[in-house]
């Protein structure tokens, strides 16, 4: 009876421990239409959180203004808070993963603008960036396919584990 109770408790602990690790959420970089210009991408996403990726540095961009006549993006730079540094490492484990439970889902609201190193960029300053100096823009969105597959396989794994544990418990109970 003691072995039965120990197996039962350890099964519950194992399930509770494995449940969150089996069900990951993933994000991806949205593919912009080929005709999209940096100005169009930025203008259509002004409600999102913009991050300037400049060489090894990263800054939060606020008060973004695009001057189409001068082909210039102007903004205010500030220090990037820790909660917005997940994509700097390509997500958890470098696999573009995030955890909803740890409030990492805010990565889905980010847009990363890449440019070469510029000595004028510094937190607290106004910053002007010629549009033609933008090397890349990454719009982050949820990867529904990978997230769904992770959840499905997680549930299947847990169901198999529960079935095996239940079978073991029944076998122990009948052998006693």
pLDDT in tens, 116-141: 887 677 788 888 888 888 888 888 88
Stated pTM of the model: 0.72
pLDDT in tens, 89-98: 765 666 667 7
Name the β-bridge partners of 53. 58, 114
pLDDT of 15 reads 61
- For 15, 166, 173, the CA distances from 5, given in Å and listed in that order, are 16, 12, 10
- 50 and 110 in a single domain? The answer is yes
- 77 and 128 in a single domain? The answer is yes
Domain that holds residue 68: 31-142
Q: How many domains is the chain partitioned into structurally? A: 2
- 131 and 63 in a single domain? The answer is yes
42: which residues sit within 8 A by CB, 6+ positions away?
50, 64, 66, 73, 111, 113, 137
Q: List, for the chain, all residue ranges whose pLDDT scores fall below the cut of 70.
A: 1-23, 32-35, 90-96, 101-102, 119, 151, 173, 175-176
- 10 and 85 in a single domain? The answer is no
- 81 and 97 in a single domain? The answer is yes
- 138 and 150 in a single domain? The answer is no
């Amino acid at each position: 009876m003691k072995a039965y109770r120990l197996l039962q408790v350890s099964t519950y602990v194992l399930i509770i421990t494995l449940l969150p690790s089996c069900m990951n959420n993933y994000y991806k970089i949205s593919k912009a239409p080929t005709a999209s210009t940096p100005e169009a991408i930025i203008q259509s996403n002004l409600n999102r959180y913009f991050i300037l990726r400049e060489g090894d540095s990263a800054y939060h961009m606020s008060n973004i203004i695009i001057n189409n006549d001068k082909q210039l993006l102007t903004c205010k730079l500030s220090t990037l808070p820790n909660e917005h540094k997940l994509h700097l490492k390509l997500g958890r484990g470098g696999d573009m993963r995030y955890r909803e439970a740890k409030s990492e889902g805010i990565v889905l609201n980010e847009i990363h603008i890449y440019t070469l190193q510029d000595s004028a960029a510094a937190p607290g300053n106004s910053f002007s960036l010629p549009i033609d100096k933008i090397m890349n823009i990454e719009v982050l969105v949820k990867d529904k396919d990978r997230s769904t597959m992770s959840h499905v396989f997680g549930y299947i794994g847990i169901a198999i584990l529960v079935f095996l544990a239940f079978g073991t418990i029944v076998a122990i109970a009948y052998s006693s």
